[in-house]
Amino acid sequence: MNYNRKINKLAIIGAVGFLAVASLSNPMESRAAGTVAINDIMPTAGGIFDLKLDEDSCLKAAEATTEGMYWGYNHLGIADVETGNLNVRAIPATDGKLVGKMPKGSACEVVEMNEDGTWAHIKSGDVDGYVSTDYLYTGADAGMRAMELVKTVAVVNADALKVREQAGMDATVLTSVPKGEELEVVEQLDGWVKVSIDGEDAYVSSEYVTVEEKLDTAVTMSELLYGQGVSNLRVDIVEYAKQFLGNKYVYGGSSLTKGTDCSGFTMSVYKHFGISLSHSSRAQANEGKKITAADLQPGDLIFYGGSSGSINHVAMYIGGGKVIHASSPKTGIKISNYTYRTPVKYVSIIKE
């Protein structure tokens, strides 16, 4: 754990502890109390608060600390759903138009609450809308959850970064990753960063990445659309698969709710529609019709492999240049750009 992350955690733990003590004299403080207007509590240079020594100001300062000032958020909210996603709507109403979805544990900036505190106006990634506060951690709770959820990523700043089997320029190239992709960091080394791609360890040069701490954010509805002229079956398959966004990755698993690996995910999604696939990415690559990238339609499968070209991962294309896949134990079922690593094969399972 790096020094800054230790400081972040100590600050949050201290603030939460203060809140716990202070709340003894004010038992009516609610979980959403951290959503008061915190703009009047501004950090001075070095992150030290200029406080008035009264209970209300101290409580607000502690809540402000837990809600942000770290990880890029001033008023932090965390999606609190058991499974599936928290719907983000255009207006604060259950029949409002869907503008995005927040996977379990994803973060947002809480802009404001409505008068009765039942809806929150939030911003998360490219999504701007309203969520029910019944499913949103705020204040001290959000800070504590963020400590558990924050992840260290290497953001690629080269056009096509080579990912290697070992830390060295002479090491075998496993794949290449496009600019802007985020790779899960395992360890920072001298001149190299050890990363995990779909659960497999690999190495990238530290010269071509920026290491950051981030929380997951919402996905827009445009990221979840598929395009024109797509059959109803393909739409249904993709919509069904997206229900499980954010659920667990379990090696060897095939449960869409309790945990699955990459081939278990695609196998189980297709099984729901009466289509049988093997529980192996390598086998699935031979169970349909080989196609080209230009022929991709939602529901088709994309396969990825190592340096030898041997297939070791599968994802489902959902349109718009995106795939949904069971990625790794840390990231679970997620949406990625389909070129987040170099594809080695495209297959259509659906007979039309």
Catalytic residues: 262, 313, 325
Instruction: In whole angstroms, give the CA distance from residue 249 to residue 263.
Output: 11
Contact 225, 320 (CB under 8 A): yes
Please choose, from the candidates 205, 195, 193, 159, the residue with its C-alpha nearest in 3D space to the C-alpha of residue 179: 159
Strand, helix or coil for residue 337: strand
Contact 346, 302 (CB under 8 A): yes
Tokens of 183: 């790779």
For tokens 């309790």, the residue is 258
Contact 99, 221 (CB under 8 A): yes
Strands of the 322-328 sheet, one edge to the other: 289-291, 343-348, 301-305, 311-319, 322-328, 332-337
Q: How many CB atoms lie within 10 A of CB 274?
A: 6
DSSP H/E element including 209? strand 209-214
Q: How many CB atoms lie within 10 A of CB 65?
A: 26
Find the DSSP H helices in the chain.
3-22, 55-67, 139-149, 232-242, 262-271, 281-284
> What are the two backbone dihedrals, phi and then psi, of residue 21, each rounded to the nearest 5 degrees?
-70, -45
Q: Provide the β-strand partners of residue 110.
A: 122
CA-based max dimension of the chain: 71
Between CA 107 and CA 320, with CA 130 as vertex, the angle to 5 degrees is 70
Residue 8 backbone class (left: φ over 0; alpha: ψ -120 to 50; beta: rest): alpha
